[in-house]
A and B are shown apart, each in its own frame.
Chain A
Amino acid sequence: MIGPGEPNALNSGLGIAADQIAKYLATRTELTLIQPYNGDQDCPDSGVSIRVKNADLSKFDELNLMSELTKVNVRAGITPYFYPYLEIQNEEEYTLEEENDVAKKELQSFTSQVLSASQGIEFDVIYAHDWTAIPAGMKLKEKTKKPLVVHMHSLDYDRNSQLNQSWIHGIEQASFKESDAIISVSDYTADVITHNYGDVKTSKVHTVYNGNEALTIPKVKKVFKEKLILFVGRLTGQKGPNVFLDIAEKVLQKYPNVRFVLAGQGHLMSGLILAVASKKMGSKFHFTGHIDREKLAELYSIADVYCMPSVSEPFGLAALEAAQAGVPVVLSRQSGAAEVLPGALCSDHWDVDGFARHILAILKNKKTQKKVVDSNKVALKELTWDNTAKKILEVLNNIK
């Protein structure tokens, strides 16, 4: 398995998903996980193979699950959500081309390190997560003739609304052609793959929904008398924080006793702050910046509505976390989470009025609120990482 690295702020939902899948697969297969490590994260240094099964595991209950997992961390400065035109605004000394060149070199370096790290390892299937792992997966397939399965958690199409068919799109498209199977995190993503990446055979695209690991939600005393509407995600065009502002404006007109919290960081932050201030909504808006899981759980515990107006959201793990925490959710129809949370109130991402209507319905009507929460909780029982990994294993086992 070629992964995105240990879960961290840079690989967000993808990091969590790959980590959970690896834990399960390690109990059913002999799994070697090769992943990037940029040196800042809290994980072992590069090039070191840690054979956990040889370590003293007696003190750790959960490590029996990982007894067949070998992790190889290779130093690489590549991140799954790299987009040069988004970073360039803060780094004026680099041009767009220079930023692209740096990323391409990092990807090349990661790819060749994966190839050398895989020498001497026996395996039956190559399993690669998202575009940063794809070139290495394709090279390995070419070299070993082993089947390749690509797991798409997020696409260039989702992240990149400004550039049409970037070089990253090209990498993804090539893999869809060459791979033996494609796992998509939702039907929405499967649809994007088959409609926007050339001639992709629908028979090799398999939807496997993400699981959900329940966060421990603390009991926090809410200091605000107003209702809280929560947005969680990178502050980039894909996640629709600007749409959230428009929704907020509509909600405030009808229901002033409310506050909005944007949890996340991204290149749109300054512009959003300026927009909020210009609309004189600053006293109703709170930007938290990037927060850890503990703080996120705190937010879920005090939120009255979770709103995800993403323009294109392959899945949306945060929506599941919010639903798990008992927060009623209002979601973009252009999301995977909307497919698995039957109670969610949904609108198309451009339908600001629709989102505002749903939020107001939840705020004003306790029955609606309860209905949304209860039906989502029932559905969430099926959405476990174990179930997700079982389905992935089925795909891996069925490759011809």
Chain B
Amino acid sequence: MDICFVFNFHCHKYLNQYSFFDIGKNRQYFDSKLSDTTNLKNLTDYQLPLLEAIEHLTTKTNLKCSLFFSGVFLEVLSQHHPEMTRRIGKLVDSGKIELLGGTYYNSLACLYSHDAFKLDIKKHAKALKSIFNYKANCFTNSENIYSNDIGRQIKSAGFKSTIAPAVEWYLGSNNCHQIFQSDGARKLSLLLADCSISKFLFDSSRSSTFFMDDSLKNKLVVVQADPLHLPKNMPWNKILSGIKTRKNQLLSIEEAVKIHQTKTTYHIPHPLALNCSGLDLSYFIENPIQKDIFDKLKSLKNELPSKIDSKLQADQLALSDSRNFLNLSTKAISKETTKPHDHYLNMMNMLTDIEIRVS
């Protein structure tokens, strides 16, 4: 079995309370104090320890992995731990870790505007280039959102492969543990993330049994995880010895694409998502308040300036962070204290403010 480990690092920009009376008053949308406190805590408790473990294990053992750092995460890391940013740069230079391209703000731009999606990708690529002097070949979209059309956009942004959601009714008789060709863009390879695996692979009581599963022999398994949802004490010893004993190998995404060539296509006519926590698109744009915000973003797309560094663009892309849509979900999975309806009012007032700034 060949295994690709993919870890997604993102920090969220928390929203301010933003009332009707704040519209047009040049008030900040993001609560920098809350964002700083929460993101620093997440960084200290979960993300840094994982990065340190990866640094240690890639140096001392055969661990290989692919990492996605959102632009906002890189901002936070560079601000609070510039030393770690430099050390990651060294690992990248040595080829021990692979960096993935993606969206700077972890936005849902791909669902409402080609141009906004392009800008979000460009801004992320620019950050990787300036911080690590790195150009990513592989892509991972926010929440793994994918469709034939999105595949075309990813390909035209210069990527050779992307991670896509494994959805049974589109897979048909195909197994998800292989590489597919995109049906939207020729020569774009698709790796399907199996969100069910990370739950027990990283669970110390169950991780050993994963490697005993013969059904995965000669298959490619993409294990994707968000450090914020991983246990603090990862069973790295068990995982690495499991890989060794069963003659499995760890690959970067780029290596996997080279080894597992295929002609099987994966046809996804409409956008689908299945992120590493198992959340599909219904958690992000299903209910009326999510759809209304989404429509508002859509209506703004043509009015926004196309400059990548425009403050307006940055604000609207940061507002379309998938996490903000998750906070509008009424499926009660968010830990946010703000209720979905309050969150909706805040966001709609902010988008109205953007509308006024544009006009």
Chain A residues in the interface with B (C-beta under 8 A): 223-225, 261, 269-270, 273-274, 276-278, 280, 282-283, 286-289, 295, 298
Contact = CB atoms under 8 A, between A and B. Distances in A.
B356 A282 contact: no
Contacts of A276: 292
Interface in B275-296: 288-289, 291-293, 295-296
Contacts of A282: 289, 292-293, 295-296, 344, 348
Contacts of A269: 341
A283 B351 contact: yes
B299 A283 contact: yes
Given A277-B292, A283-B295, A289-B19, 4 more contacts: A282-B289, A282-B344, A286-B348, A287-B345
Nearest to B348: A282
Nearest to A278: B288
| Residue from B20, B289, B355 whose CB has the most chain A CB atoms within 10 Å | B20
A277 B291 CA distance: 8
Nearest to A274: B288
A40 B20 CA distance: 26
Nearest to A220: B21
Interface size range on B against A: 20 to 34
A372 to B, nearest CB: 25
Most chain B Cβ neighbours within 10 Å, of A224, A270, A280, A282: A282
Nearest to B328: A277
Top 5 A-B pairs ranked by shortest CB distance? Answer: A223-B24, A277-B292, A282-B292, A277-B288, A278-B288
Contacts of A286: 20, 23, 348-349, 352
Given A280-B295, A282-B296, A283-B299, A273 B20 contact: no
B92 to A, nearest CB: 43
B23 A223 contact: yes
B359 interface: yes
B289 to A, nearest CB: 4
Contacts of B23: 223-224, 286
Contacts of A289: 19, 345
B289 A277 contact: yes
A276 B348 CA distance: 12
Given A287-B345, A288-B19, A274 B24 contact: no
Contacts of B289: 273-274, 277, 282
A2 to B, nearest CB: 37
Nearest to B345: A287
A224 B289 CA distance: 23
A225 B355 CA distance: 11
Interface string B324-359: 000000000000000001001100110110011001
Main SS class of interface, B: helix
A283 B299 CA distance: 10
Contacts of A261: 20
Nearest to B356: A223
Contacts of A278: 288, 292
B185 to A, nearest CB: 33
Interface string B1-26: 00000000000000000011101110
A288 B352 CA distance: 14
A295 B296 contact: no
Contacts of A224: 23-24, 356
Contacts of A225: 359
Contact of A283 (B288, B296, B359): B296
B344 A288 contact: no
A235 B348 CA distance: 20
Interface in B189-235: none
Nearest to B291: A277
Contacts of A287: 20, 345
Contacts of B355: 283
Contact of A295 (B21, B25, B295, B345): B21
Nearest to A287: B345
A223 B348 CA distance: 16
Contacts of B19: 288-289
A309 B78 CA distance: 55
30 contacts: A223-B23, A223-B24, A223-B356, A224-B356, A225-B359, A261-B20, A273-B289, A273-B344, A274-B341, A277-B291, A277-B292, A278-B288, A278-B292, A280-B295, A282-B289, A282-B292, A282-B293, A282-B295, A282-B344, A282-B348, A283-B292, A283-B295, A283-B296, A286-B23, A286-B349, A286-B352, A287-B20, A289-B345, A295-B21, A298-B21
B90 to A, nearest CB: 48
Contacts of A223: 23-25, 356
A298 B292 CA distance: 27
Nearest to B23: A223
B174 to A, nearest CB: 38
A280 B292 contact: yes
A224 B24 CA distance: 8
A283 B348 contact: yes
A223 to B, nearest CB: 3
Contacts of B341: 269-270, 273-274
The winner among B292, B293, B345, B351 for most chain A CB atoms within 10 A is B292
Interface in B67-105: none
Nearest to B290: A277
Contacts of A288: 19-21
A298 B344 CA distance: 23
A261 B19 CA distance: 12
B285 to A, nearest CB: 12
Nearest to A263: B20
Nearest to A283: B296
B156 to A, nearest CB: 31
B206 to A, nearest CB: 37
Contacts of B296: 282-283
Nearest to B296: A283
Given A282-B289, A283-B299, A283-B351, A273 B345 contact: yes
Interface string B110-150: 00000000000000000000000000000000000000000
A223 B341 CA distance: 24
A113 B355 CA distance: 55
A273 to B, nearest CB: 5
Contacts of A280: 291-292, 295
A275 to B, nearest CB: 8
Contacts of B349: 286
Contacts of A277: 288-289, 291-292, 344
A337 B17 CA distance: 35
A347 to B, nearest CB: 26
A270 B20 CA distance: 17
Interface string B156-198: 0000000000000000000000000000000000000000000
